[in-house]
Amino acid sequence: MDPHFPNDHGNGRMGGPFHRHKSIHKLLGGGKVADILLWKDRNLSAGVLIAATLIWYLFEVVEYNIIPLLCQIAILAMLVIFIWSNAAPLLDIPPPRIPEVIISEHAFRQIAQTIHYKLAYTVDALYDIACGKDLKKFLLVIVSLLISSEVGSSYSFTSLLYLGFLCAHTLPALYERYETEVDHLAARGSEDIKRFYRRLDSNLLNKIPRGPVKTKLT
């Protein structure tokens, strides 16, 4: 018999310690990207994974440089268009037509505004954490940065990007399939971390003297 894991699905709310009110598909945007990440279309998701793996292989294993690779792709595309254009009258086929890809000024502005908003929000959040208003978040950020530093020094940037892609391409689908079990384990781990932090806070952190924190002027 499969083990039973308690959840909160019966009360109309997504279960687990993450307190979700939306499905994983909606949290990921609910569009084509969400379908790819959740493997709704297996052929398309597999194709994206194969393409990313090929790119990682070319840059990390074969050690291709981005400029020669782009130049060779452009040369190949120009040769194909040249042969196609000259053979079209002989074979009675239409010549190649390259669709125009136009990105509007409005789209550029939206992208810039989004990046500016995210950057400003991140800087503001890091400033609040660095001021020591929430010691738990401060320690968590410090530990996370130390771990990121160690991981970054052990792997190349290309491998880190590929690893991040693999996590984004597989973890949401695995979580959607084993949601109840993961939520149960996450809830137990969260309780263990809270108990450890309470002991650490009472035995060590409360004894650290801290001066008053100046509030920011808005």
31 pLDDT band (50/70/90 cuts)?
Answer: confident
- What tokens appear for 131 in the block? 């001021």
Beta-carbon contacts of residue 185 (< 8 Å; ≥ 6 apart)? none
Beta-carbon contacts of residue 168 (< 8 Å; ≥ 6 apart)? 37
pTM for this entry? 0.57
Q: What percent of the chain has pLDDT over 70?
A: 79
* Mean pLDDT on 182-206: 78
Task: Give whole-number Cα distances, 71 to 64, 74, 75, 76, 92, in Å.
Answer: 12, 5, 6, 9, 31
CA-wise closest residue to 169 among 36, 54, 56: 36
Cα–Cα distance, 16 to 6 (Å, whole number): 9
Higher per-residue confidence, 4 vs 201? 201
13 pLDDT band (50/70/90 cuts)?
Answer: very low
Higher per-residue confidence, 169 vs 216? 169
Q: Where are the domains of the chain?
A: 65-93+108-154, 156-206
CA-wise closest residue to 141 among 125, 153, 157, 155: 125
Tokens 């398309």 found at: 44
The answer on pLDDT for 20 being more than 60 is no
Cα–Cα distance, 33 to 103 (Å, whole number): 20
The answer on pLDDT for 190 being more than 60 is yes
pLDDT value for 120: 92
